[in-house]
């Protein structure tokens, strides 16, 4: 029986834990990102070279985007939001490499990221407003909105997950089908489009997560 392309292929087991391909790809991405960052930031100087300038540009751009949305000091959200964006870019674009499947093309990785965003929103909301104040915010502007607000917390997290998974997975499917039907070089425009889609989806996921966190801390209207 042909396995479903939506399921993650198990590469090996560590005891009872099945290590799937997205996990291994994620480890590789983590290693590459950490190594690159370590190499570039090992010797920083007051007058930055090209690589340092690129890294500083990325970090300051992410901070600027966070501050534009949250209207607060971006440093407290930088580690989560910045890592989310950088990982999503790397993960989405990894599918372009031959023989590599994007981790975000399987449902487990977007689900894990959506869960992290879901719990982070509540963490930052409670930290900013206190538990009672944060729970009271679900009954705003009217008490009747309470069930809808609770439901929206779940649905928006679900939509966050499905949007990312659907776009990346569909792109890979289309490229795979075109390669199977038309040949080696025909899907190149589609691959370029997939790069664009990967970048856009990383941006959308990150901005939505930022908006959710901003709403939780009270700086953005729900």
Which residue ranges make up the site for other proteins (CB under 8 A)? 4, 6-8, 17-20, 22-23, 26-27, 30, 33-34, 37-38, 41, 44-46, 48, 52, 55-56, 59-60, 75, 78-80, 82-84, 86-87, 103, 106-109, 111-113, 115-116
Residue 75 region, left (φ>0) first, then alpha (ψ -120 to 50), else beta? alpha
Nearer Cβ to other proteins (37/192): 37
Look at residues 160, 77, 154, 57 and name the one whose alpha carbon lies nearest to residue 120.
Answer: 77
Shortest Å, Cβ 72 to other proteins:
16
Nearer Cβ to other proteins (112/191): 112
What does DSSP assign to residue 17? Answer: E
Shortest Å, Cβ 149 to other proteins:
25
Are the CB atoms for 92 and 168 separated by under 8 Å?
yes
Are the CB atoms for 63 and 75 separated by under 8 Å?
yes
Shortest Å, Cβ 119 to other proteins:
9
Would you state the structure tokens that stand for residue 113, as one six-digit string?
């990221």
Nearer Cβ to other proteins (47/132): 47
Shortest Å, Cβ 195 to other proteins:
21
Are the CB atoms for 162 and 154 separated by under 8 Å?
no
Nearer Cβ to other proteins (120/134): 120
Are the CB atoms for 80 and 206 separated by under 8 Å?
no
Nearer Cβ to other proteins (113/216): 113
């Amino acid at each position: 029986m042909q396995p479903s392309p939506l399921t993650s292929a198990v590469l090996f087991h560590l005891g009872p834990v099945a290590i799937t391909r997205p996990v291994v790809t994620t480890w590789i991405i983590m290693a590459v990102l950490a190594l690159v960052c370590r190499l570039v930031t090992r010797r920083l100087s007051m007058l930055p070279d090209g690589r340092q300038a690129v890294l500083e540009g990325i970090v300051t751009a992410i901070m600027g985007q966070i501050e534009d949305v949250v209207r607060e000091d971006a440093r407290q959200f930088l580690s989560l939001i910045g890592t989310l964006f950088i990982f999503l870019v790397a993960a989405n674009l990894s599918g372009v490499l031959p023989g590599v499947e994007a981790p975000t093309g399987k449902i487990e990785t977007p689900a894990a990221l959506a869960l992290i965003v879901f719990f982070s929103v509540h963490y930052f909301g409670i930290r900013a407003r206190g538990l009672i104040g944060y729970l009271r915010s679900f009954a705003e502007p009217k008490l009747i909105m309470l069930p809808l607000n609770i439901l929206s917390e779940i649905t928006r997290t679900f939509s966050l997950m499905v949007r990312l998974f659907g776009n990346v997975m569909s792109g890979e499917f289309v490229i795979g089908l075109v390669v199977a039907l038309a040949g080696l070089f025909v899907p190149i425009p589609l691959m370029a489009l997939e790069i664009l889609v990967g970048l856009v989806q990383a941006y959308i996921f990150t901005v939505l997560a930022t908006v959710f966190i901003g709403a939780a801390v009270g700086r953005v209207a729900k």
